[in-house]
Structure 1
Amino acid sequence: MGRKFYALLIVSSLLSMSVTTSAETLDFPMSASPASLSFKGNTNGNVSLFMDGFKRTEYINYPAIPYKVVSVLIPQGEDVAGFRMVVEESLMVDSSLKLASYNGSLRDDGQRLGLYERGEEIVGTDSEFPRWRVKHLGTGWMRGYRIASFAVYPVRYNVEKGGVSLYTKFRLVVETEPAFPLTGRIERLRYVPGFREESRRDVESLVINPEAAATYTFGDVKVENTDHAFLPSYAPSMEGSEVKYLIVTNDEMEPAFERLADWKTRKGVPTVVRTIEWIEQNYRHGADKAESIRNFLQEAYAKWGVEWVLLGGDTDVIPARYGYVTFYSGEFIPTDMYYSCLDGTWNADGDSLWGEAYHSADDPGDDADLYPDVFLGRVTVTTPDQANIMINKIIHYTTPLDTLSKSKFLMLAEVIFPSDYEPGDDIILDGAEIAQNLYNSYLDGNPDVTTARLYETCDQYPGSICLTKNAAIDSMNAGTNHVIDIGHGYKYNMSVGNGSILNYDANNLTNGNATFAMYLMNCTSAAFDTDCLAEYFLLNAQGGAFAVTGSSRSAFPSASRPYMDQYYHLLFDDNIVQLGKLHVLSREPFTSSAYAES
């Protein structure tokens, strides 16, 4: 895990915005207050700069400069033609201040990683850093709405002489132009009650010009079902019943998943099962099996009105899509977002690398749209027996025989840095601080929840219990509804203070039907393209977990924490309890920042 957290006092908010719109020009007045700047360090050359609500650049050997990502809803039928920042007022904050260089984020193994660029690529000829005032990070589709993401940089730094200045009043100007035909968008054809209204609310919550959503119009067709029975068409079409939930598996496991589909349909969620073999016989083939499945999902979304998708198989059954990122050292990351975010091709340049990020208009990447169209999860099973284990867990959790455990919450948190922490050492980052923030926000005093807090630094948190491997396993075996783990991890283990929970331990839990959902804020314990720890929690027939949310690769705390905070905000404040929806919606506010490798 990665980066150090600082406790900062921020005096006021960062940007205030209003908007005016013309036919092909969107003009967004913005402001940044010097009171929102915060400094850490007191030696010239060793000062770090922060702004509340801002991200910071991550270029090795250059200062970490605050910037803000904003999302703009582009007029329907148009696309971004140009953009610029118009500065109206600026202020010299400190003409001689020298900032510390960014030296990378810490990974689990202690390696520091960051972005490496040549000076001329990121520093202006006048020594101003960064060279640009605004960057277009990319443009994507969200259920028919066109959203462009921009990073604005009101803080300026002179790398030669030192000195920090601030644009206190400026405008983001976005030029648009007609874009016909619009490529990459999957058009929703079937009318589903409430879908458009919910989609519009989601979009409005993400963009700085929410009023523009009212200008969008859609031509969804209402399909009459005179029999009032669930009679879906054989293949996605504008005939037959709406299908709300779609399960994709193989022929061998189809009977097991039909049981789950029947159960969901009886509960009022119309569900069908289709197999990979059926898809390959009836749908256009893509470049590989994953693209063929996605082609079918696009049709199901458009014509059946599908909102939920369950991938019924491990990666040897339903392949993962590996997105390529050059951020840090470069890596192929397995992701099922490919099956959830259905617009675009994810391989616009047609090479062997999928999911390449947007870098510029000249290097737009792979058109890897990251806004979700369906709520999606995966059951990592390969045999009918494994499928039945998971299906039984899902059904039993929803109709529990054990109700006592459903009011219990378990928090596991260890010191993250230093990774070889011993009592008495100086602490750089403590997972208990992150967990305690959640506890204070949602669990402390909650009459419906009994929380057990197991912290490595239990002496610093009254009421908590000292985290050990035995204590963690005993707490899970006793039954609980939810487990949060904040600490180090790998594909086959998660660290819990004085030891690690291994695949063997997860597979031998004995909590019976008192199964739990897990949120793992650690590295690679949910690397679902391997026999990872999460899968052993799930496939334990004597207990374990019924659902796991976690990272398939590295999880830096500074990047991961906002996602986790949003997840529990949605759970406790907005009462979103469907895990697939909860997982997807917790990502949405951060999608605009994910388009570029920055």
Structure 2
Amino acid sequence: MRKYLFLLLIVPAIAFGYTYSVSPEDVGMDAGQGYDIPRIAGGVYTNEVGDPHLPWLPLRVAVPAGMAAAEVEVVSLETQELPGYYTVFPTQQSRPISMPGEFVENFSPVYASDDPYPGRPMVATGGGNIAGYGVADMVFCPFIYHPVSGRLEVITEITFNLELETLSYEIHTPAVVTPATSEINTQRVKSLVINPESVYTPAEVVPPKVIGTGFGANYNEPDEGSTAEWLLITREEFAEAFQPLVEWKLKKGLSTALVTVEYIIENYDGRDQAEKIRNFIIYAYENWSTTYVVLGGDCNYVRERRGFAVGFGSPDDYMIPCDLYYSDLDGDWNADGDDLWGEWPTDEVDFYADVYVSRFPVNTVEEIEAMVSKTLVYEKSIPADFPLNTVFFAGKLDDIPTWGGDGKDQVATHLPPDFPYVTYYERDMTYGAADIIAEFEAGHSAVVNQLHHSSYDIIGAGDGFISTADAMGMTNGDYIGWFYAQGCMCGGFDRARCAGEGMVLAPNGGSVAVMFNSRYGLYMPGDPKSGESNVLDEQFFAGMFDEELTSLGAAQAYSKDYFVPMAKQNPYIRWVMYVQNILGPCETQGWCNIPENLVVTHPTSWSGGEFKVTVNSESRGPLNNAKVCLYKDSDVYLVGYTRASGEVIFYPDVDEAGELSVTVSFQDTWPYEGVCQVEAGSDAEVAEFTGSPTDEGVLLSWTLTDTGDLVGVNLYRGEARLNSLDLPGESGRFLDRAPDETNDYYLELVHPDGAKLRVGPVTVTVPEGVGRLTLFEPYPSPATDRVSIEVNTPADGSVLLAVYDLSGRRVATLADGDYSAGRHTFTWDCADAAAGVYLCRLSTAERVLTKRLVLAR
């Protein structure tokens, strides 16, 4: 597997300046047990037991991959005092939901002082790698409490310097990513960091590529060179049963791979089966743009990893079945080599998901068929009268009392308006399992959310429970949705048929996916809103509905991402990150609005040339960024996205006549599936089409055969036509004097009937300085006093060359004006600049190029 090495390892410390603001309108105050509980949206309570119960915000800064926050220096604070006198709730011991506790008025010595608490409002907590994107982590408390005087201040603005260091463990980054992979990972990281303009990964963006074998991109052939955005790992005996799901994912525009556990065990190293599987996933992620991974089997077929966070109960209780192990691909997860995996800090766990992972906990072909069928129904043919009805149910967690309904109310604030929801809370009423089952039977199960005492084979519901048998017997048919539960152990897939498995294996209903706990869920006695499991639950809903990370796997990753800055300090947060898994599909997108139809037009017969697809919705007209996939056996596999006009144009290269499938998908619409009959075109063929860089540009040449009926030949770089005059038919040459760094060239054959067939691409990478705008690597780098930066301009024109720090602030302007074509060298006297990473940016009217520069002291 590829190891990522960092030039930055030689830089001891790097400092940057940032500002973060809080509006007083964003804060609130609750009461609990006669005390005040300060609130802020997204706050996480991670104080020591007995200390004032103040919320902290996890903050992240986008940094180069492999870097982490070593120290925070607070430069300035602006505060606003809240009117009144406050006695802040004393932090309670987090507890398993199945082990109710009492409220303890245990005040730490902090309460006897009027010194500001916390002593440091911001603390650096390291960092991590998110699929090749670097983030530095810190936690920030926006409140300052003076216990004796009862004063409470809000920090409305904090300015700070961040000192970086390198991560202590190996990280893995993808060499290539498809546009879809790049989009979802960039969206996820930008939603997390305070400087989204600096989000960056060096991975090369490539179109999805499929080598058809009957099982999608690959079947036990990982060196074929395809992409595989969606990866299924299963046993040989199950491969055939999964084929309808693999083929659908492929057809809708996800390059796929099906690889067996048997193959992985034979071909990959590891201390046990789980590590071999993880090492294979690392390979696929680095080389195939793998984004979604489905573990196709119960843990006796695809082994689980047990993670350790903190010692609750017996060893069987605290050895947590944890599929995050297959999702977070950085670090070793057992660097100290003992019997406990996932310990912090000795086991080098990064905690950030690099791929999105779920499990089909199946043991038989019949169970596979049930889960595959439900996944296809949910994605393709959810009923037209499918209601977005949502059910929240919760219980009494202890005798204080701590009401689960209070926590659910917090989660429900993230539901969109189209989701009518009904609540069953013991706080408000008496109810039982029959009420919840009746809601399922009525089809009111688009989203189900639970907080109550549970166990392996039961889901607590009021004064009763939903058993595994009840779940397996659900008859809500195609009216299925997803189910998130905080209850203890009901997602323990390592046991014989837990209740969560019953929900997803139910052949006649249940849920398409569940997000359940494999061991204890955690809560805070006296304050259900701040329990670790409740905050994780809330952030799943925030990811799905607020951040529009609508695939189940991405929403789950976002919820765990949110906790990472605290996870390396708080074992209870690590616990809830480990314990929560997805049983069901991970790439599947949740319905967030009432479904509607797509209106799609495309050719029904085609013999070559342009293939235009137009996509509209019934209510919104032309759709921007709808995904369109053209697929014909092993012959054609093209994926594109519509523009604002609702149009996307392809130029398929087809070897023979046959049926071409056209599949269109867009969030909250039923996918469109159509066909086009490919007919035989002209006899003309391209015998040779090549391109090579020269000192003057890229020289292209071609040779054609059987050209008698051709009426024209054109040459394209991407979508730009290069020739203004007709080109020779049988053979010819053309010099592209203004190529880009990487160029895709196409030869277009124009037939008598007007059809145009494009052949290609021929991809040519042009060396720096050859006929194109070039920003060369700064020299030296790392630099100390002076650095030289050379540029090449292919034509006369205006040029701006400037240096920026990672906060986006311009620190030097090296060129700003008109320059002649050719090479130019500029020098920056950087002796007075702070050590760190900088961006050198070259801008012209046509393009912007960027290089990284390191200053060391």
Shorter-chain TM range is 0.7 to 0.9
Does the 8 Å contact 2:101/2:398 carry over to 1? no
Helix, strand or coil at the partner of 2:53: coil
One-letter amino acid of the counterpart of residue 54, structure 2: I
One-letter amino acid of the counterpart of residue 143, structure 1: A
Q: What CA deviation, in whole Å up to 9, does each residue of 1:39-80 have, x standing for no partner?
A: 66699xx64351423333432222223433211222456444
**Corresponding position: 1:211 with 2:197:** yes
RMSD: 4.2
Which of 390, 394, 398 matches 2:371?
390
Does the 8 Å contact 1:405/1:481 carry over to 2? no
One-letter amino acid of the counterpart of residue 465, structure 2: S
Helix, strand or coil at the partner of 1:349: coil
Does the C-alpha gap of structure 1 residues 269 and 64 become closer, same or farther in structure 2, counting only changes over 3 Å?
same
Helix, strand or coil at the partner of 1:390: helix
In the alignment, what sits opposite 2:309?
Answer: 325
Aligned pair count? 544
Helix, strand or coil at the partner of 2:59: strand
Which of 487, 496, 508 matches 2:451?
487
Cα offset, 1:566, TM superposition? 4.2
In the alignment, what sits opposite 1:411?
Answer: 391
Cα offset, 1:244, TM superposition? 2.0
CA distance in 1, matches of 2:207, 2:416: 43
CA distance in 1, matches of 2:320, 2:377: 33
One-letter amino acid of the counterpart of residue 538, structure 1: V
Does the 8 Å contact 1:104/1:113 carry over to 2? no
Cα offset, 1:165, TM superposition? 6.7
**Corresponding position: 1:551 with 2:517:** yes
One-letter amino acid of the counterpart of residue 541, structure 1: P
Which of 343, 349, 365 matches 1:356?
343
CA distance in 1, matches of 2:503, 2:475: 11
**Corresponding position: 1:468 with 2:443:** no
In the alignment, what sits opposite 1:70?
Answer: 59
**Corresponding position: 1:506 with 2:467:** no
Cα offset, 1:296, TM superposition? 0.1
Q: What CA deviation, in whole Å up to 9, does each residue of 1:98-157 have, x standing for no partner?
A: 645323346434533999x9989x999997654555332231101212212112346455
Cα offset, 1:176, TM superposition? 2.6
In the alignment, what sits opposite 1:83?
Answer: 72
CA distance in 2, matches of 1:61, 1:332: 28
In the alignment, what sits opposite 1:190?
Answer: 176
CA distance in 2, matches of 1:526, 1:26: 43
In the alignment, what sits opposite 2:163?
Answer: 175
CA distance in 1, matches of 2:29, 2:409: 26
Which of 448, 451, 455 matches 2:424?
455
Cα offset, 1:266, TM superposition? 3.3
TM-score by length of 2: 0.55
One-letter amino acid of the counterpart of residue 137, structure 1: T
When Rg is computed on C-alpha atoms for both structures, the one with the higher figure is 2
Does the 8 Å contact 1:411/1:484 carry over to 2? yes
Does the C-alpha gap of structure 1 residues 34 and 365 become closer, same or farther in structure 2, counting only changes over 3 Å?
farther
CA distance in 1, matches of 2:533, 2:179: 34
One-letter amino acid of the counterpart of residue 337, structure 1: L
Helix, strand or coil at the partner of 1:111: coil
One-letter amino acid of the counterpart of residue 367, structure 1: E
One-letter amino acid of the counterpart of residue 383, structure 2: T
Question: More strand by proportion, 1 or 2?
Answer: 2
Q: What CA deviation, in whole Å up to 9, does each residue of 1:530-562 have, x standing for no partner?
A: 231011122223332232122223143533444
In the alignment, what sits opposite 2:557?
Answer: 584
Matches within 5 A, 1:334-373: 334-357=321-344, 364-373=345-354
Cα offset, 1:325, TM superposition? 1.3
CA distance in 1, matches of 2:84, 2:318: 40
Does the 8 Å contact 2:219/2:259 carry over to 1? no
In the alignment, what sits opposite 1:138?
Answer: 126
Does the 8 Å contact 1:50/1:56 carry over to 2? no
Moved more, 247-256 or 122-131: 122-131
**Corresponding position: 1:152 with 2:140:** yes
Does the C-alpha gap of structure 1 residues 107 and 113 become closer, same or farther in structure 2, counting only changes over 3 Å?
farther
Cα offset, 1:35, TM superposition? 8.0
In the alignment, what sits opposite 2:848?
Answer: none
CA distance in 1, matches of 2:25, 2:478: 54
Matches within 5 A, 1:188-267: 188-213=174-199, 216=200, 218-220=202-204, 222=206, 232=218, 235-237=221-223, 239-267=224-252
Name stretches of at least 5 consecutive residues in structure 1 with no aligned partner. Answer: 1-22, 358-363, 420-425, 461-465
Does the 8 Å contact 2:32/2:89 carry over to 1? no
Does the C-alpha gap of structure 1 residues 244 and 77 become closer, same or farther in structure 2, counting only changes over 3 Å?
closer
CA distance in 1, matches of 2:87, 2:537: 34
Moved more, 405-414 or 294-303: 405-414
CA distance in 2, matches of 1:226, 1:418: 55
Does the C-alpha gap of structure 1 residues 579 and 350 become closer, same or farther in structure 2, counting only changes over 3 Å?
same
One-letter amino acid of the counterpart of residue 332, structure 1: M
Does the 8 Å contact 2:36/2:86 carry over to 1? no
In the alignment, what sits opposite 1:277?
Answer: 262
Cα offset, 1:378, TM superposition? 0.5
One-letter amino acid of the counterpart of residue 348, structure 2: D
CA distance in 1, matches of 2:236, 2:32: 66
Which of 283, 291, 313 matches 2:275?
291
One-letter amino acid of the counterpart of residue 438, structure 1: A
CA distance in 2, matches of 1:162, 1:569: 33
TM-score by length of 1: 0.77
Does the C-alpha gap of structure 1 residues 529 and 217 become closer, same or farther in structure 2, counting only changes over 3 Å?
closer
Name stretches of at least 5 consecutive residues in structure 2 with no aligned partner. Answer: 1-12, 574-857
Does the 8 Å contact 1:517/1:548 carry over to 2? yes
Helix, strand or coil at the partner of 1:261: helix
Cα offset, 1:356, TM superposition? 2.1
Does the C-alpha gap of structure 1 residues 161 and 342 become closer, same or farther in structure 2, counting only changes over 3 Å?
same
Does the C-alpha gap of structure 1 residues 114 and 589 become closer, same or farther in structure 2, counting only changes over 3 Å?
farther
Does the C-alpha gap of structure 1 residues 130 and 123 become closer, same or farther in structure 2, counting only changes over 3 Å?
farther
In the alignment, what sits opposite 1:311?
Answer: 295
One-letter amino acid of the counterpart of residue 142, structure 1: I
Does the C-alpha gap of structure 1 residues 252 and 569 become closer, same or farther in structure 2, counting only changes over 3 Å?
same
Q: What CA deviation, in whole Å up to 9, does each residue of 1:457-501 have, x standing for no partner?
A: 6978xxxxx743223223323444524132312222122223211
Cα offset, 1:275, TM superposition? 1.2
CA distance in 1, matches of 2:111, 2:276: 44
One-letter amino acid of the counterpart of residue 476, structure 1: F
Matches within 5 A, 1:25-174: 25-30=15-20, 47-53=35-41, 54-76=43-65, 78-87=67-76, 99-105=88-94, 107-109=96-98, 111-112=100-101, 129-130=117-118, 132-153=120-141, 155-156=143-144, 170-174=158-162
Percent identical among aligned pairs is: 27
CA distance in 1, matches of 2:194, 2:99: 39
Q: Which one has more relative contact order, counting CA pairs under 8 Å at least 6 apart? A: 1
In the alignment, what sits opposite 1:542?
Answer: 508
One-letter amino acid of the counterpart of residue 300, structure 1: A
Q: What CA deviation, in whole Å up to 9, does each residue of 1:170-214 have, x standing for no partner?
A: 43321235x49x85221211242243344333222211222322x
Moved more, 493-502 or 289-298: 493-502
Matches within 5 A, 1:556-575: 556=523, 557=528, 558=530, 559-572=532-545
Matches within 5 A, 1:372-387: 372-387=353-368
Helix, strand or coil at the partner of 1:252: helix
CA distance in 2, matches of 1:543, 1:95: 53
